Amino acid sequence: MKKIAIFASGDGSNFRKIYNQIQKGDIPAKIVLVVSNNPRCGAIIFACEQGLENFIVNHTRFPNSDTRDKLLLQALLKAKVELICLAGYMKLLPGGIVKEYQNRILNIHPALLPQFGGKGFYGMKVHEAVIEAGAAESGVTVHLVDEEYDHGKIIAQKKVKVRSGDTAKTLAKRILKVEHDLYPKVVKAFCKDRVVWE
């Protein structure tokens, strides 16, 4: 059983998919902590409904960023977290956490990295950029996290064709469905120690 922390800032649909697969016994893991910068987001509401521990990290709660980063790392270590899954987390992770959890932090991005990724490419902006560029395909990337946005080693990708007449919204909807399929699979592989690197 791997101990997982989920980091999410939004709706939390990827988080819910992972949670459901764990509940079904399909992923050998336990979510021991849900971290967010937004106490009112869907992910935190869901975490509370399920009785999962949560930790809110934002300026209001911890005005001093050093203290904030220190307490977050402490919370992860105290919960004995072994894998961090970013699922729509809108903040850059503190360097100390990236270091401590090297090769044990996953992120999902709604495009085919390295294209349409990096600072500023988040949420609907990603899909708007894909449509604007006239790309024939987009997709989903699950990757390891390092200090740069959307930069670490790619673990899995799945393509999604851009259809003529697609808007950012219609494309986002199809891509999210693929995310819901791919992310739990990668988390499962990781929890079964099937993700290896040289």
Applying CB under 6 A, which residues contact ligand GRF? 8, 10-15, 87-88, 108-110, 176, 179
For ligand GRF, the closer of residues 40 and 63 by Cβ is: 40
- H-run or E-run covering 72: helix 65-78
Task: Report, in Å, the least distance between residue 198 CB and ligand GRF.
Answer: 27
- If the CB atoms of residues 71 and 168 are measured against ligand GRF, the closer one turns out to be 168
Calpha distance 109→112 (Å, rounded): 8
Strand partners, 85: 6, 106
Partners of 74 in beta bridges: none
- Residues paired with 91 in a beta bridge: none
38, two tokens: 């937004």
- Residue (of 21, 74, 12) closest to 48 by Cα position: 12
Considering the complex, state which of residue 94 and residue 110 has its C-beta at the smaller distance from ligand GRF: 110
Residue 49 or 193 with smaller CB distance to ligand GRF: 49
Cα–Cα distance between 142 and 126 in angstroms, integer?
A: 15
Question: Minimum CB separation from ligand GRF for residue 78, in Å?
Answer: 25
- Residue sitting closest to ligand GRF (CB): 88
Per the annotation, the verdict on 143 as an active-site residue is: no
Nearest distance from residue 150's CB to ligand GRF, in Å?
Answer: 9
Q: Which of 109, 127, 143, 180 is catalytic?
A: 109
Catalytic residues, by residue number, are 109
